[in-house]
Amino acid sequence: MKKRVQIRIYPDGRIQAETQGIKGKACTDYIRVLEELLDAEAYTSSYTPEYYEEQTVHLDLQQDQSIQGRNT
């Protein structure tokens, strides 16, 4: 799933934002960004199940054959 932030603006001026595809506490980094962009201040937060999941990072490491040949 792609990382997204869904923002809803209600007629009374309330703004609701929800992150999707962002696991763990990294989603809370977006609160400060949104507050700055919207010139607003968050006053409540609730967490989706993704908040409690761990972010996994997949690395594809490849060794350069030319460097390997020099070490022998």
pLDDT above 90 for 10: yes
**Mean pLDDT computed over 41-46:** 88
Query: To 10 degrees, the CA torsion angle through 22, 24, 25, 26?
Result: -30
Could you tell me the pLDDT band of residue 6, with boundaries at 50, 70 and 90?
A: very high
Strands annotated E in 1-72: 4-9, 15-20
Place of tokens 């919207």: 38
Write down the pTM of the prediction: 0.61
pLDDT above 90 for 71: no
pLDDT at 8: 92
Q: Which is more confidently placed, 29 or 55? A: 29
